[in-house]
Amino acid sequence: MTGMTPLDLLMVVRGEKIGFKAWAKDSYRKTLLRLKNESLNEIQIDVSRSGLTAKTGETQTIGLSYPVESSPGDHILLLKSGQEKEMVFNSRCLDRGGKPPENETEFVLIPNLLADYVADLLQQGADQGEVWDAIESRKGEITRKSPIPAIVDKFQ
């Protein structure tokens, strides 16, 4: 990849540079992500710092780990101007007590970035138990506050 700095998925969707849709493919274990670069520039996107939740109803918060056909550590996507990608990601539930999403549940981005330790676990491909244990040991804090409200459902 080029020497550009990866941008967080939440921030590029907020900045209206990326069209975004996501659905549960295997409850919380796999998530289908559709992205379209609507900018004039090539963009590197870090998906590991942005959490997902159901568009309607209440389900667990989901974190994206790495694409199914890839390996842990592959959490940066490169999208050229105008390019659209659809990929299935391994994903992890971030709240053990929540209701698991049904397949085809549509997700939206949560309005805050995930805490650094959560993103690190997702990037490393930590298994589900490790993720839950780490979150519980930190008293359930999974996000860090963001000063800008999210506008997160704009795929056309």
Interval 86-133: pLDDT, tens: 999 999 999 988 899 999 999 999 999 999 999 999 999 999 999 999
Span 48-73, pLDDT tens digits: 999 999 998 788 999 999 999 999 98
Question: What's the confidence (pLDDT) of residue 3?
Answer: 66
Question: What's the confidence (pLDDT) of residue 57?
Answer: 78
pLDDT-based confidence at residue 12 (cuts at 50, 70, 90): very high
Model confidence at 35: pLDDT above 90: yes
pLDDT-based confidence at residue 140 (cuts at 50, 70, 90): confident
Q: What is the pTM of this model?
A: 0.86
How does 40-66 read in b/e, with b if 16+ C-beta sit within 10 Å? eeebbbbbbbbbbbbeeeebbbbbbbb
How much of the chain exceeds pLDDT 70, in percent? 90
Which of 3, 78, 6, 85 minimizes the C-alpha distance to 42? Answer: 78
Question: What's the confidence (pLDDT) of residue 156?
Answer: 40
Q: Could you give the dihedral angle defined by the CA atoms of residues 109, 121, 116 and 95, in that order, rounded to the nearest 10 degrees?
A: 50
State how far the alpha carbon of 155 is from the alpha carbons of 3, 57, 133, 149, in Å: 28, 20, 34, 18
pLDDT-based confidence at residue 141 (cuts at 50, 70, 90): confident
Helix (H) or strand (E) holding 136: helix 128-137
Instruction: Name the phi and psi angles at 76, rounded to 5.
Output: -110, 125
Distance CA 156, CA 147 (A): 26
CA angle 35/38/42 to nearest 5° reads 85
Q: What is the mean pLDDT of the chain?
A: 89
pLDDT-based confidence at residue 151 (cuts at 50, 70, 90): very low
